Amino acid sequence: MRLIRRMLTLLLPILLAACFSGAQQAAPNLTFTQLDGSQHTFSELKGKVMLVNFWATSCSTCVKEMPQIVATYQKFRGQGLETLAIAMEYDPPAYVMQFAQTRQLPFRVAIDHSGDLAKGFGEVQLTPTTLVVNKKGIIVKRYVGEPDFAALHALLAQLLAEAG
């Protein structure tokens, strides 16, 4: 037992450093199709701070947090925030369309028909997953589950204030 504790004491800092070394992932340059049929790439949005939210209509936490995602977008859009809500591959398109229309989502909404967007953003499997992308196109924060919106707003304010 002592040997195990000693090994953990020695290895834990190394493992933690490897996991949280600050290595940041660039947002993938994938094409997405918005509900209106228009096609875009993530490179078109480079130079803007982005909030990318993976969600599903069947996810109760996603439905619960969506008004706060809308409020966040409305608060920061004048400063250049782009928001993209990406419905998961398994979400029926008719449900996504109805949800977006009835709640009048004011930002970009897409469906990940092939699962490529979720894979490209680091194998997103759980909803909601929200990613914050800086002006350089680097993913700087990943929230799995509902974000702490006060902390998210502080981060967005900081990123939006930074020079591109």
In a domain, 107, yes or no: yes
**Domain total in the chain:** 1
Q: Is residue 82 part of a domain?
A: yes
Which domain does 54 fall in, by range? 23-161
Q: Would residue 3 count as lying in a domain?
A: no
Residue 52, domain CATH? 3.40.30.10
Q: Which residues of 1-24 are buried (b: 16+ CB within 10 A; e: fewer)?
A: eeeeeeeeeeeeeeeeeeeeeeee
In this structure, is residue 93 part of a structural domain?
A: yes
pLDDT at 2: 54
Residues in Cβ contact with 125 at an 8 Å cutoff, skipping those fewer than 6 apart? 118
Residue 5 within a domain? no
**27: closest CA among 140, 143, 109?**
140
Taking the model in full, what pTM does it have? 0.84
Q: What is the pLDDT along the chain (164 residues), one digit of tens a residue?
A: 554 444 444 444 433 333 343 457 889 999 999 999 999 999 999 899 999 999 999 999 999 999 999 999 999 999 999 999 999 999 999 999 999 999 999 999 999 999 999 999 999 999 999 999 999 999 999 999 999 999 999 999 999 999 76
Contact yes or no for 66/103 (Cβ under 8 A): yes
* SS3 sequence of 125-153: CCCCEEEEECCCCEEEEEEECCCCHHHHH
